[in-house]
Amino acid sequence: MDMTVRFRLSLMMFLQYFVWGAWFVPFATYLTHHGFEDSVGTIYSSQGWAAIAAPLFVGAIADRYFSAEKVQGILHLFAGGLLFLLSTIGADASVMFLATLGVLLAYMPTIALSNSVALNALTDTERQFPAIRVFGTLGWIVAGLIVGKVLPGEAERTALPLYLAGSVSLFYGLYSFTLPKTPPRAGQGPASVITLLGLDAIRNSDRSFWALIICTMLMMIPFSFYNVYANPFLDDIGMKDPAAVQTIGQVFEVGFLLLLPLFFRWVGMKGVLLMGMLAWAVRYVLFANGFNADGPIEPMIYAGLALHGVGFDFVFVAATIWVGKHFAAEASSRAQSFLALMTWGVGYLIGSNLANAVQVGTGAGGQPEWHSFWLLPAGFAAVTAVVFMVAFRDRSNKAGEARA
């Protein structure tokens, strides 16, 4: 592949996830310091709604009638403008929810669109795409470091991350118009909601598939506790530069992603998924006991953050791989759409609202009781792991043989 194209696609992935990481990680802390402390999880649930809407928009409209890079550019220009708007909203939770939903409705479809632009330009997707996609994780890490280490003062509590993300999103929107052309796939035939959500592909699925779908959806609930409240938690217990500290999770995510093939060989798919689910329980026990009256117990906090790599890769990435192997080629992408709908859509929607209810319910005098807050998702993850261990049977090898 031409090195210029590689650079342009790598920069695209870097900007794609830089925008998300720059504002979404510290946004909960911003909300807690601007009159929304009882609505943080509810506002974050807008990501679940956006994740449900994204495949419908991409599959029914963007992927069929318009060039992906142009739609991506327009959506990021729109998202950039709305990110600046977020900082102007007063303490009205309903308005903030709608504005946040607007940002995410613009942003979430661009994840699939950026993948389409990259995959269309590559000559060997299996070999070249991972090397392009890793720049997305690097973009997320760099965004966290800038928010935590470069922006002045306690930036997480201010609108500065919103301004940073908004500015980069506007630049990225303009840059998208220069990317390799990705024409629409207009000859796909009529679209239906059932097809776009992948429901037709999973109609006759076996017990193991449903065990995987239900358990990964349930694991998105404890993930939502972290995704929404980790930054306010670290800020509240006195960790310095929370956004920068959280990038430990992404660093270990890259490391365990590279180790994933070895773990498949050593413990098999079921073992990997089970380890990932149990990792969520362990990390939340560490968070629950990782502080005292004098402040954070840093080794426990760092260990809990590092376990993000195991928890995310060994559950959500491994589930994606299993679904890809379990279905024939013509049904695989639709089955993946259904997995994304159930995890990032339904699971995240339930999890963020539940996390909000727990945070408000365990609070005393407006201050969250973090020990109890983290023990609930720890227990939930452990129970889900037991259910998965009993219900799941890995038959993907047989499926793979059938596909061959």
From the number of C-beta atoms within 10 Å of its C-beta (0-12, 13-18, 19+), residue 136 rates as: buried
CA distance 19 to 80: 9
| Contact yes or no for 231/246 (Cβ under 8 A) | yes
Tokens matching residue 110: 């661009």
In sequence order, the 6+-apart residues with CB closer than 8 A to the CB of 89 are: 95, 96, 99
CATH superfamily of 1-186: MFS general substrate transporter like domains (1.20.1250.20)
Please give the CATH topology (third level) of the domain spanning 192-404: Growth Hormone; Chain: A; (1.20.1250)
Q: How far apart are CA 161 and CA 10, in angstroms?
A: 23
CB 355 within 8 A of CB 228: yes
CB-based contacts of 19, cutoff 8 Å, min separation 6? 76, 79, 107, 143, 165, 168, 169, 172
Q: How far apart are CA 324 and CA 339, in angstroms?
A: 10
Q: For CATH 1.20.1250.20, list the domain ranges present in the chain.
A: 1-186, 192-404
Instruction: Provide the 10 A C-beta neighbour count for residue 231.
Output: 27
Tens of pLDDT along the chain (404 residues) come to 688 999 999 999 999 999 999 999 999 999 999 999 999 999 999 999 998 888 777 766 666 678 889 999 999 999 999 999 998 998 799 999 999 999 999 999 888 788 888 888 888 766 787 788 889 989 999 999 999 999 998 899 999 999 999 999 999 999 999 999 988 765 555 667 777 666 766 776 788 899 999 999 999 999 999 999 999 999 999 999 999 999 999 999 889 988 888 999 999 999 999 999 999 999 999 999 999 999 999 999 999 999 999 999 999 989 988 887 777 766 666 677 788 889 999 999 999 999 999 998 876 545 679 999 999 999 999 999 999 999 998 765 444 433 43
Phi, psi (degrees; rounded to nearest 5) at 392: -95, 135
What φ, ψ does residue 367 adopt, rounded to 5°?
-105, 125
How far from 167 is each of 61, 161, 242, 363, CA to CA, in Å? 27, 10, 22, 35
Q: What is the phi/psi pair of residue 178, to 5°?
A: -95, -5
- Compute the distance between CA of residue 182 and CA of residue 204 in angstroms, rounded to an integer: 34
Q: Which residue has the tokens 């201010």?
A: 158
First vs last Cα of the chain: how many Å apart?
A: 29
- The residue written with tokens 């720049």 in the block is 135
- What is the pTM assigned to this prediction? 0.87
